[in-house]
Structure 1
Amino acid sequence: MKFAIVFFPTVGGKNGELTPTQYYDDGLAIAELADRLGYFQLKLVEHYFFEYGGYSPDPTTFLAAVAARTSRLRIATGAVIPAFTHPVKMSGQLAMLDNISGGRLDVGFGRAFLPDEFDAFGIPLDQSRARFDENVEACLRLWTEDDLTWDGTFHQFGPVTMLPKPTQQPHPPVFVASTGNLDSCRTAGEQGRNLQLIASVATRETIQEALGVYRRAWAQAGHTPGTERIDLSFPCFIDEDREAAYRAGEYVERKMSEKMASAVSAWATVKSDQYPGYERLASAAVGNGAAFDERVKNNKVLAGTPDDVRGQLADIAEWYGDDITVGLSVFSGHLPRADVERGLELFAKHVAPTFADDREPR
């Protein structure tokens, strides 16, 4: 089992919240500490306009700064949105980042889900899946082919040869971001792409079913068993004092719920067959952080003392496999940097060694 850290800003600079400059400065310091402590990866989201993720409209910019300040930490998009960026531009940005980092990039691609973002880019929600499929394929071919001519539904170009090519050959590891949609997981497995799942938003049974579908599709498509990579993300709040960890977690989860409620409010009047059931998000987001103890009990949130969190991770390894990367969502901007750093140090010293894979150098 490997351990990553996840940055998901949910601040907007109002009422004493971190400004963008403060968030980035704190985030870079946290990234340097994570590198020293031996964490495997740092992952950052792409979102726009809202305090729910809006400090990160271009994760590649921040990740380039992380790459310059670290030497071992892998950097990951979690995820970039192909529908919002021309594939020539996106493939070039990501290839540059892979070179700048010395081949430490993991690329997570996602479909996005906020109607206001699609409206701003002039992209119909109902084109979400088709644009995702086409633009990811275009990126992969731009990375691996010369004199590419592309005649797609949404973009036409060429012949072009992208420079630079990625450092990692034939290209950086590619992940598909999902909340557990079975069709998405099946397709990712068939295509030999890795998987990013936000485990905190789904039930244990949903995640197990999604992973089963994905792993079977991977094997049936003839991909080498055991070479797939699966990232599962969980909010994490750790302290020597269980009550202090819970207080911090309840506060951050409540703020996250408030920010998400605003971002998903458009779903109250929007419906799309590309996003079945998402029209319920507008009401579901309100009060999402209320039953914190229950979320911890169900291992949707990691919280408590190091002993508590070790027990949760033992359950997670039993449920989902011990060959996964667990992403610890630790930096929303609502806790002081010193508290985040102390939590990372506690986890690295008292939790991670229990699950270390002796076959891996990290």
Structure 2
Amino acid sequence: MTFFPSVGPKDKAAHTYYDEALGLIERADELGYAHVKTIEHYFFRYGGYSPDPVTFLTAAAARTSRIRITTGAVIPAFTHPVKLAGKLAMLDNLSHGRLDVGFGRAFLPDEFEAFGVPIDESRARFAEGLEACRRLWTEEDVIFEGDFHRFGPVTLQPRPFQRPHPPIYVATAMSQDSVEEAGRKGYNLQLVPATSNRERTRELIDAYHAARASGGHQGAGKVQLSYPCYVAEDGAEARRLARSDEERYNERLGEAVQAWGRVASSAYPGYDKILAATKNYDFDTKLGDHKLLAGSPEEVRAQLATIQGWFGDDITVSLTVHSGLLPVEKSRRTVDLFAAEVAPAFTASTR
């Protein structure tokens, strides 16, 4: 289950959104959902209520006992690795080993500008930050000499609860290099199918598996796909709510990506088109392409079965259930109905 706030102060107070989301997480823990995940973004209604996923997930861990706690994702480019590794190790201990760590590159030019980080350095800073965290979790007297950070010898405290470290995920939208590197390193993968078509998502998953095998890693690794989800007894009502939520989400995405109209970066091929894509958004096309789940329990079961047929039954589907734009009661109904009438038809990994 993913929480991606799409509201700002004029829509809803921050504390109200957090209270609503944490209540839904408590319910998800009771109902047997597999994980709760949140993102890292700044400034805009597009994710801006989640500048520090570790803080939010710490509150989630304190209110739950079973559900896994997942970053989706933290951004190494914006935090010194000693600080980031320490915060995450602390959360792993507070949750008694329920933490999964997704690392991402970020993609909004305004965020890079605010942190004084050149956007063209995003891939190198991502790779260096992830490697520094891994070493800090697994080694003592670490001496690190990277292009952006140098420190040591240092021994991180606390040590992670999970050994050798929490499961690592690489979050990416559509980068072949990122998925292949994740596979070679033996990490797991977080993808957002809405950013590309079905064929491209399948290609990325296949490239990940091939790279993982070539790196000598056992097993297929874990692939997590995020989908907005709206379930109601009346399928037409669920689609009406989904249309309202998704169209406003797209509006907020459009606000956040305005800078791509003036910024160009070789590190982000194709991102110059992202602003135009928000202007050409069509809900019915997105629904027809199975880039979101919306309908009655029976209809959502059919949608999930199609997705499972495309990408395999070993994927994990992460449901985005509460942007803050709809009444929390509607999101709670989705959480309850999905658990009771959709999930039993699939494995536990579909939540």
Under a length normalisation based on structure 1, what TM-score does the superposition of the two structures give?
A: 0.95
Quote how far apart the aligned CAs of 1:286 are. Answer: 2.3
Quote how far apart the aligned CAs of 1:181 are. Answer: 1.4
| Aligned residue among 142, 146, 152 for 2:136 | 142
The CA distance in 2 between the partners of 1:249 and 1:12, in whole Å, is 19
Question: Residue 5 of structure 2 corresponds to which residue in structure 1?
Answer: 9
1:254 aligns with 2:218: no
Quote how far apart the aligned CAs of 1:142 are. Answer: 0.3
1:132 aligns with 2:126: yes
| Aligned residue among 271, 296, 299 for 1:305 | 296
1:225 aligns with 2:216: no
The CA distance in 2 between the partners of 1:73 and 1:144, in whole Å, is 25
The CA distance in 2 between the partners of 1:28 and 1:163, in whole Å, is 28
The CA distance in 2 between the partners of 1:286 and 1:107, in whole Å, is 33
1:194 aligns with 2:185: no
Question: Residue 315 of structure 1 corresponds to which residue in structure 2?
Answer: 306
The CA distance in 1 between the partners of 2:15 and 2:158, in whole Å, is 30
| Aligned residue among 165, 175, 180 for 1:171 | 165
| Aligned residue among 309, 327, 331 for 1:340 | 331
CA deviations over 1:46-84 (Å, ceiling 9, x no partner): 000111000000010010000000001101000000000
The CA distance in 2 between the partners of 1:218 and 1:293, in whole Å, is 36
The CA distance in 1 between the partners of 2:24 and 2:276, in whole Å, is 34
Quote how far apart the aligned CAs of 1:293 are. Answer: 2.2
Residue pair 2:247, 2:283 contacting (<8 A) in 1 also: no
Residue pair 2:174, 2:195 contacting (<8 A) in 1 also: no
| Aligned residue among 271, 274, 281 for 2:267 | 274
Q: In the alignment, residue 206 of structure 1 is paired with which amino acid?
A: R
Correspondence list, 1:100-111, <5 A: 100-111=94-105
Q: In the alignment, residue 293 of structure 1 is paired with which amino acid?
A: D
| Aligned residue among 253, 256, 264 for 2:257 | 264
Quote how far apart the aligned CAs of 1:338 are. Answer: 1.1
Question: Residue 239 of structure 1 corresponds to which residue in structure 2?
Answer: 232
Question: Residue 65 of structure 2 corresponds to which residue in structure 1?
Answer: 71
Runs of 4+ in 1 over 3 A off after TM superposition: none
The CA distance in 2 between the partners of 1:356 and 1:302, in whole Å, is 17
Question: Residue 328 of structure 1 corresponds to which residue in structure 2?
Answer: 319
The CA distance in 1 between the partners of 2:311 and 2:254, in whole Å, is 29
Identity fraction in percent: 54
Q: In the alignment, residue 202 of structure 1 is paired with which amino acid?
A: S
Quote how far apart the aligned CAs of 1:287 are. Answer: 4.3
Residue pair 1:166, 1:172 contacting (<8 A) in 2 also: yes
Residue pair 1:114, 1:264 contacting (<8 A) in 2 also: yes
Q: In the alignment, residue 243 of structure 1 is paired with which amino acid?
A: A
The CA distance in 2 between the partners of 1:243 and 1:308, in whole Å, is 10
The CA distance in 1 between the partners of 2:315 and 2:65, in whole Å, is 22
SS state of the match for residue 5, structure 2? coil
Question: Residue 87 of structure 1 corresponds to which residue in structure 2?
Answer: 81
Question: Residue 209 of structure 1 corresponds to which residue in structure 2?
Answer: 203
Q: In the alignment, residue 348 of structure 1 is paired with which amino acid?
A: A
Q: In the alignment, residue 253 of structure 2 is paired with which amino acid?
A: M
Structure 1: gaps of 5 or more residues: none
1:350 aligns with 2:344: no
The CA distance in 1 between the partners of 2:175 and 2:120, in whole Å, is 16
| Aligned residue among 40, 52, 55 for 1:58 | 52
SS state of the match for residue 123, structure 1? coil
SS state of the match for residue 217, structure 1? helix
Structure 2: gaps of 5 or more residues: none
SS state of the match for residue 331, structure 1? coil
1:182 aligns with 2:173: no
| Aligned residue among 18, 29, 36 for 2:30 | 36
Q: In the alignment, residue 183 of structure 2 is paired with which amino acid?
A: G
SS state of the match for residue 25, structure 1? helix
Number of residue equivalences: 350
The CA distance in 2 between the partners of 1:6 and 1:317, in whole Å, is 19
Q: In the alignment, residue 122 of structure 1 is paired with which amino acid?
A: G
